[in-house]
Amino acid sequence: MLDVKLIRKDRQAVEDKLKTKDPSISLEKLISLDEELRALKTKAEALKASRNEQSQKIGALKRQGQDASGLMQEVAKINEEIHHLDPRILELENTFETELASLPNIPMDDVKVSQSPADNEVINTHGKKPEFSFPFKNHVELNESLHLFDFKRGAKISGSGWPVYRGLGARLEWALINFMLSRQIQNGFEMWMPPLLVRQEIVFGSGQLPKFEKQQFKIQDEDYHLYLIPTAEVPLNGLHYDEILEEEQLPLRYTAYSPCFRREAGAAGAQERGLIRMHQFNKIEMFCFTKPEESTDIFNQMVGFAEGILEALGLHYRSVLLVTGDMSFAAARTVDVEVWLPGQNRYYEVSSVSNCTDYQSRRSQIRFRGSDGKLEFVHTLNGSGLATSRLMVALLENNQNADGSVNVPEVLRPYLDGISILKPE
């Protein structure tokens, strides 16, 4: 959430920056609500001060045995006016908070202004696209003889977009998860195992609500009102909801494995069959709480950690600095790490690393106490380390052989009892 003081100080500058993310944004309604709300609060405070003053006079008159009925009538009128003002103030406060919460984070000054993803800047490239001396297959075609997934039975159980991993496919997925967790622990992250269902305020705190309400899976009955997490970023951010941390605790580096649940709005194209776009997928999350002056350095470290996993797996990738219009709602700066998928003939994101500055911490009321005793909002950063479904596609398509077999990267073999190749059945 944005600092309303910043908006009051320079509305036009803030609005101009927000429009680089979404040209339709206007602060006119928010400013109007803020002005009306502050005017009503000032009036209510004046009325309550007057009531207190009159009440003191009434008490003095009664102690002196004098008639206070006139003042009592005035107080009654004041009470009636306050009684009408308070609900209106509460209504305006709720409307104002909803309007403020609907605004995205402000992009950093050095982020390129554009609404087109085509303008994203490639800032790093590793390796080369593979060259095949045979007609290569996409992962769905490879699966016909490798039998790593069962898409038909997944659809039977839950509908389209819900994968079922089987045999060596399940083992390879688990090997990826274990390998990546081990790497993040080596990188200095503490491992957590958070719940997969979280409260509404925790989803709000991460910036997923109210903007993306329709993209969430949730359960709602007489006993529960909980959301399935779209990413472990949500519960990891929520770990310190409404807490005050000490400066010496920072930075905090957390990692977690979780399934992720997303509605994935929009129809997938013909090339996005199989594991490319799913309602449920697995992901290792990196999440950091930092002092503001440290967040840029830690952001760069996190990008490097994501890239390092792809390098260890021997995969060609590129890292892309996103333009303003392509960044996520809560991000002030984002780098996507994209792996090459031969079967799709394009790059696909397997990690998105974002510096959310104090946007999430304001929504979640996560602060730290500095050495001077002052309280300040922490900066939060998140990034995939990595998401496995597209990574699985990359491993299969980039490492395939002419006979339909697939070579297993050396770093994964210890997690597969030494298996070095997946052979067609």
Write down all domains in the chain, each with its CATH number in brackets: 28-101 (1.10.287.40), 117-422 (3.30.930.10)
Match 């925790």 to its residue by tokens.
202
pLDDT of residue 271: 53
What is the Rg, in whole angstroms, of the alpha carbon atoms belonging to the chain?
Answer: 27
Question: Which residue of the set 264, 349, 405, 413 is catalytic?
Answer: 349
Q: How confident is the model at residue 270 (pLDDT cuts 50, 70, 90)?
A: very low
Query: 39-67 pLDDT, tens per residue?
Result: 999 998 999 888 888 888 888 878 888 88
Angstrom distances, CA of residue 157 to CA of 26, 151, 152, 153, 163: 45, 10, 9, 6, 10
Nearest of 125, 122, 124, 102 to residue 323 by alpha carbon? 122
In this prediction, residues 339-343 reach a mean pLDDT of: 96
The rounded percent of the chain whose pLDDT value lies above 90 is 83
Residue 66 identity: Q
Cβ(61)–Cβ(71) under 8 Å? yes
Question: Which residue of the set 171, 262, 318, 367 is catalytic?
Answer: 262
Predicted structure pTM score: 0.91
pLDDT of residue 65: 82
Active site residue 248: no
More confident of the two residues 80 and 19: 19
Measured between alpha carbons, how far is 270 from 268 in angstroms, rounded to an integer?
7
More confident of the two residues 60 and 195: 195
Active site residue 318: no
Query: 95-126 pLDDT, tens per residue?
Result: 999 999 999 999 999 999 999 999 999 999 99
Q: How confident is the model at residue 267 (pLDDT cuts 50, 70, 90)?
A: very low
Question: Which residue of the set 295, 351, 352, 389 is catalytic?
Answer: 352
pLDDT of residue 272: 65
Give yes or no for residue 266 having a pLDDT over 70. Answer: no
Query: 350-361 pLDDT, tens per residue?
Result: 999 999 999 999
Cβ(380)–Cβ(361) under 8 Å? yes
Report the range of poorest mean pLDDT among 135-144, 209-218, 226-235, 260-269. 260-269
Cβ(319)–Cβ(384) under 8 Å? no
Nearest of 13, 16, 18 to residue 1 by alpha carbon? 18
Active site residue 38: no
pLDDT of residue 62: 80
**Helix, strand, coil in percent for the chain, rounding step 5:** 45, 20, 35
Angstrom distances, CA of residue 20 to CA of 244, 298, 356, 365: 33, 25, 16, 27
Measured between alpha carbons, how far is 221 from 210 in angstroms, rounded to an integer?
20
Pairing of strands 280-290, 379-387: antiparallel
Question: Which residue of the set 171, 253, 277, 363 is catalytic?
Answer: 277
Active site residue 390: yes
Taking all residues of the chain, what is their mean pLDDT, rounded to a whole number? Answer: 94
Measured between alpha carbons, how far is 204 from 18 in angstroms, rounded to an integer?
20
Complete DSSP assignment for 35-53: HHHHHHHHHHHHHHHHHHH
- Beta-carbon contacts of residue 292 (< 8 Å; ≥ 6 apart): 357, 358, 376, 378, 379
Give yes or no for residue 302 having a pLDDT over 50. Answer: yes
Question: Which residue of the set 333, 363, 367, 390 is catalytic?
Answer: 390
Active site residue 63: no
